[in-house]
Amino acid sequence: MKHLFAAIAALLALPIFAQTAPAPAKPADDPGKRPVAIVNGQTITAADLDFLYDRLGTKAREAYNAQGGKSAYLENYIRKRLVVQEAIKHNFDQRPEVKADMQASAEATLFDRYVRDVISAPLITDAELKKYYDENPKDFEIPEKVKVRHIIIVPTDNGPNRKTRAEAQEKIQAIAAALHQQNIFPAGTDEDTVHRLVLHNFEEAAKKYSEDAAAPSGGDLGWVGKGVLDPTFEQAAFLLKKGVMSGIVETRFGFHLILVEDKKQASTMSFEEAKPQIREFLMTQHAVDVLETVNKLTNQLRANSNVATFPQNITAK
């Protein structure tokens, strides 16, 4: 049961990133403040979503990238938020055992972060961080990435969208033909306008026709590197020029049209960008020193604090 209550406590922390507000009359000037969802009056902004998505582990993010990226994560997050709202509506968060677990979780997070960011900081010098950075350049290589969208039509024997492989292929061909027709522009149209219109047309078609979790966001799969997506899909995506739609690409999932919205060339993370992750890694190499430092501090705090203990009140289990 402890694991169950811990999971609920983690979910109950989610509304920290929301604001109760009505839908704005017009988009905010700051893109980060624009809402990506409003759940029963609680606003989730683009910045909130970015913050949460960036905190995912590598494997979890790769899994989401393969299923629709941030849009798929947002859908899952909304579902969690709805459960949290339901729990609060029924005063579940006021149960003594739940409040105790929530408090324990908050204290554990504060302790861990203070040890990492403050107590351990003097043990790992900037010179040591720089030495590691210089000696391990491959650790800080940033591979080429593409910001990719797709439209997928899926052959399936089940559900309301049942269709044979031939029917799926015919449908994607019709979508491709319609997009090619829409993307014929007058001579002299500047490149930026062409890219903007092609992207708009593709997004609208994805919302209307695509058959996966990324459809509501215009087929947006986010920024992806190599080794994340289906190999056939990936090969086509990385060969595309920015703003140019692919031909029909068949993978084990179905038939795709692919559009690369933007590209980032391979690069190297700067030392300043890399410092937090190097420090996190080197802390494991200094585990004994960290433990000694924490023990020294707690001994000092214990000696200089008013602490009373009552062992006679400890109940036997």
Q: List domains and CATH numbers for the chain.
A: 2-123 (no CATH), 142-267 (3.10.50.40)
Alpha helices in the chain (DSSP H): 2-12, 46-54, 58-67, 70-89, 96-114, 126-135, 165-182, 191-209, 231-239, 271-285, 287-303
Element (H, E) at 141: strand 141-142
* β-pair type (249-251, 254-264): antiparallel
Alpha carbons 240 and 262: distance in angstroms, whole number: 10
Asked if residue 212 lies in contact with residue 68, where contact means CB atoms within 8 angstroms, the answer is: yes
**What pTM does this model have?**
0.55
C-alpha to C-alpha distance for 78 and 75, rounded to whole angstroms: 5
Nearest partner of 281 among 69, 70, 82, 136, judged by Cα: 136
Contact 149, 217 (CB under 8 A): no
Q: pLDDT tens, 237-253?
A: 999 999 999 999 999 99
The answer to whether residue 221 scores a pLDDT higher than 80 is yes
pLDDT, tens only, 5-58: 333 333 333 333 433 334 444 444 677 788 888 999 889 988 898 888 877 776
**What integer is the mean pLDDT of 194-216?**
93
pLDDT per residue as tens digits for the range 250-263: 999 999 999 999 99
Assess contact for 225 and 212: CB atoms under 8 A.
Answer: no
